[in-house]
Structure 1
Amino acid sequence: MGTKTKQVAPQVETVNVSIASIRRDPDFVKGFEDYRAGLPPAFDKFAEGFAYERGRQFAAATSPTLRLNSREAANLFRDAMNEDEIV
């Protein structure tokens, strides 16, 4: 039996960014606010939808009373990112 190789699709280039910079991104904030307001996803409005989607995921995973700019929110977001709960 021959050895099969798996073709891997090319990946996008990545860069390291801080968790704080993700939370400050206007697209992250908009995703968070849209989810909290009950609005449908607006992924097509964002060229790079990662921050917007992360904001929506974070809003979905946290208490509706959590203030986005609180220390608690910062700690929860850091923990969620470190545990790969938000991608």
Structure 2
Amino acid sequence: MNGAETKVDGRTITSSSDPTLRNAILHTLSHEGESGMDAPTLLQDINDAGIKLEYKGLLYKSLHILVNSRKLERFYSHKKCIAYRIRKE
């Protein structure tokens, strides 16, 4: 699969994904003020697609919630890029 880049408020999301997952990411990021209500849906889409999600730039609350739930693990590829991948259990 090829990576797809999507701009959100000047930030770039790169994911090995299909348009459905990319749309779910955009939907979640566009509702960051809703206490991460869409985070479970996003997590399910990521799990279903079995992909790695990379987010470049500042973090949104919903992505913090996913990391704090320990269902995704955070790793750093360089200072300004924070990437997420499915935690292997």
TM-score, structure 2 as length reference? 0.31
Bigger-Rg structure (1/2): 1
TM-score, structure 1 as length reference? 0.31
